[in-house]
A and B are shown apart, each in its own frame.
Chain A
Amino acid sequence: AQSVSQHNHHVILSEAASLELGCNYSYGGTVNLFWYVQYPGQHLQLLLKYFSGDPLVKGIKGFEAEFIKSKFSFNLRKPSVQWSDTAEYFCAVYGGSQGNLIFGKGTKLSVKP
């Protein structure tokens, strides 16, 4: 079965620090990739997505992600985090016979003011 791994369970950063959250998936074929954010007490919102084309994808709020096919990775980055980026971040992958989005277990980001 396909799987999605998010290596960091909880990341704590100070404001203005750079962020990189890891995401790896197991499926070797064509995939659609997503990063979602869930602010405290809220629903999931899409940050960015990759279907094809330029592997460096820019999303909302200054986030970007890079698809590296050879590494089965889709890491999320932001050059300078803000306190308002405190949230749970989910990587999700669609591909293969699974027929639905597979979500990672999430990474909690805490940004200290």
Chain B
Amino acid sequence: DTAVSQTPKYLVTQMGNDKSIKCEQNLGHDTMYWYKQDSKKFLKIMFSYNNKELIINETVPNRFSPKSPDKAHLNLHINSLELGDSAVYFCASSPGTSNEQFFGPGTRLTVL
């Protein structure tokens, strides 16, 4: 059974489009995250949710909006996609903010 799953795995789209990435965890964790990994493999946290409430919102363009319909899901919606948004986006979850994080398989977003 997949602990943290993301869909889609690959996403190729045109500049200006709006797209969503879905994340689900079946670990019963309270906290979920979105990270962006650029071409140099640098991992940058974007958002963190604890029990459906936003607790971290790093300096991210407001074109990115997280949505947590319940504790097990944290989706990422991106408006007006730009070339610089091309990256791998990882979802993660943890039983608490100080604990080990479990990562999803990643979504490779390519904006043309």
A103 within 8 A of B: yes
Which of B14-22, B68-76, B78-86, B93-101 contacts the other chain? B93-101
Closest-by-CB residue of B relative to A90 is: B43
A45: contacting residue among B33, B48, B98, B103, CB under 8 A: B103
Contact-residue size bin, chain B (C-beta under 8 Å from the other chain): 20 to 34
Of the stretches A16-24, A71-79, A93-101, the one at the interface is A93-101
Q: Are B97 and A34 in touch, CB under 8 angstroms?
A: no
Q: Select A105's contact among B42, B48, B101, beta carbons within 8 Å.
A: B42
When each residue 22-39 of chain A gets 1 if its CB lies under 8 Å from chain B and 0 otherwise, what string results? 000000000010101010
In the complex, are the beta carbons of B48 and A100 less than 8 A apart? yes
Q: Which residue of A lies closest to B4 (CB)?
A: A43
User: Given A44-B90, A106-B41: A99 and B105 within 8 A (CB)?
Assistant: no
Q: Which residues on B sit within 8 Å (CB–CB) of A36?
A: 103
In the assembled complex, B56 has its CB within 8 A of some CB on chain A: yes
Tell me the complex Cα distance, A106–B29, Å.
26
B100 contacts A43, CB within 8 Å?
no
Point out the residue from B42, B55, B92, B105 that lies within 8 Å of A42, measured CB to CB: B105
A100 with B45: in contact, given A32-B98, A45-B103 (CB under 8 Å)? yes
| A-side contacts of B40, CB under 8 Å | 105
- Complex Cα spacing A101 to B92, Å: 11
Give me 11 other A-B pairs in contact (C-beta within 8 A), A36-B103, A99-B97, A105-B40 excluded. A43-B103, A43-B105, A44-B101, A88-B41, A99-B56, A100-B33, A100-B48, A103-B43, A103-B45, A105-B41, A105-B42
- Chain B residues in the interface with A (C-beta under 8 A): 33, 40-43, 45, 48, 55-56, 90, 92, 97-106
